[in-house]
Structure 1
Amino acid sequence: MARKSCIAFQKSSKMSFFHNAREGFKAKTVYPELSCKNEIMNDSFDSTQLFNLMYNEAKNNYITRTNQKMQVKKENLIWEAVVNTNKNTSFEQLQKVAELVEKKLGYRTLQIAHHLDEGHIDEQGNFITNYHAHLVFFTLDKNGKSLCSKHYKNKQLFRDLQTEVAEILRMERGQENSKARRLEHREYKRLKQATSPLEAKIEQLENELKTILNTPNIDTQLLIENLQNENKTLTKKLAKAQIKALREQLKAQNAELRGILRENKAGRADYGGLEGQVNEVKFELDKLESKLKTQNHIEENDVNNIAKQIENLHLPANFKVREPDKISKILGLDI
């Protein structure tokens, strides 16, 4: 199946500069021996310097223009676009996508990284690349005005952007108004490990069924019934694998947030707030599992909604992270 074009925006931070440049922590889906194939514009140092330059310019112009301090928080000024690519995508095409975003939204480019070192190993031992790129943007104009709020509700603008990105990359455009979302690297690996073998088998059965239906002079009824029954069984197994992957995703996200609470010596109320969110997701997963007692599949929207709930797990509203240490400040991580 041909990979479809998609550009998905999300709020980011200076930490993305390090991840994108493969400096410091690397996700488990990264294969370091392939990182030499990556293409990048601006490493973490250059990206940070460029951010500071743009921020100071916008802040000074805002103060001059309004005679007031700029109210926007630094941590809200870095947005990242994750772009689906394929083996034929060139870095020049990604630069054109960045230029398109600058033209359409007014954002200014801080960093571009084309990642060719992430993916998973399939059942046959082949490496399947998760082709994608990260385009990181500064979202204030030179006068200190926020461009995020300006475009936030303009859905048609983003629909047009999706279409033009597909044209630049020479890829098929993703389905318009789709509820699907792009998986982050940890979700991608877990879901692929759980579902790839089942998806391949289901596709094989569907192809066999088409072949039988197009073959003359044979009694197809029994063969069709057998294939359909096997397909139902595999579809149910696929649904169970998806639920299992969601539970593992929830466990990992919970562990990560609890680690932050532990490092910051959080109180019982903070842990309780997080536990309440986790229990809500567990309840939704239990409901999804109950559906499989009376049907052979689960809806893609249900899976996507729960995945979104897990992604949106957060620290309690009143919780405060400790001040960063001197080393973090030197590295510029305390935006």
Structure 2
Amino acid sequence: MDDDMCDAVTSHLLGSRPNTYTYTKALAEHLVAEGRGDIPTAIIRPSIIGAAWREPMPGWIDNYNGPTGIFVGIGKGLLRYMMGSMAATADIIPVDIPVNMMIAIAWQTAVTRPERVHVFNCTSGRTNPVSWGEIETMIVKSVTKNPIDKVFRVPSARFTASPLWYRLVVIFDHYLPAYIFDLVTKFIGGKPILMRIYDKIHRSLATLDYFTSNNWDFASENSLMLTSAMTEEDLKEFNFSMNGLRWQSYLDTYVLGTKQFVLKEDLAGLPLARRHLLKLQIFQYLMQVVLFCVVWRLLVARTNIARKLWRFVISLSQKFVVRLPRVTRSS
């Protein structure tokens, strides 16, 4: 089957499924259930896999899959807007949780030998929920406290549920700065790459819109049944509970792990990265002040209301300054 034929039949095969990723997962589960014969079988369904919480070490991660690529884009200052609902649950699960659960499930399935295939959801939404809006705030704090090397812009992240607003901000806050940067780079003899990077980013984000814009409540009865069948010693050895995880602390460790294991950055360079980010923050603040002054000056020059408001503010400030020494002396 060639690519053209695949494209032609894809929409028919997907049906109500949002993409080929979910379709192939369902297809794999179906094939396992149909072809298992008399072998005891169980299926585990983890949600969005993130960096390790505890094992093999806090923050361990070795690829850009899941939220890691998003966090890198935010940390670099490139990814500033995403489609999604701030109230929707960000069902992120640390990688060591489903690994421990798989070991426990394999043990239970081998011992009990169930006749039918049991499905186990490994998620955080019911036991330790966090919204995309909360993740947005916390990840910006994390990448500001422990910045990635050579940040392009001051990190910022916003989710929006409006497709129209998203298209507008992508043009003016993603592509326009990238186009200007590439133009300057080309002018000084460099290789313009930022526009191509943004093209890749937005192609990747398009596959995530469905998951960041919707909310799900995953059943956990089978997982509770598994927990009840284990002793306290077993539960300590193979911990797959999300109780005790603090999201801000976890994301701080996540960012450090991403720097160290994915981006291959030396953590000894953090002071230099912080100084670079501070320079960007100062530059951004100065640019905002200049822009405000220019816009305000144009308004004062062109509108009578703005001039009156400006005179009122100046007059009020002068009265406050005159009274200030008197207040100081009387106190």
Bigger RCO of structures 1 and 2 (CA < 8 A, at least 6 apart): 2
Normalized per residue, the structure richer in strand is 1
Q: Which has the larger radius of gyration?
A: 2
Give the alignment's TM-score, normalised by structure 1: 0.21
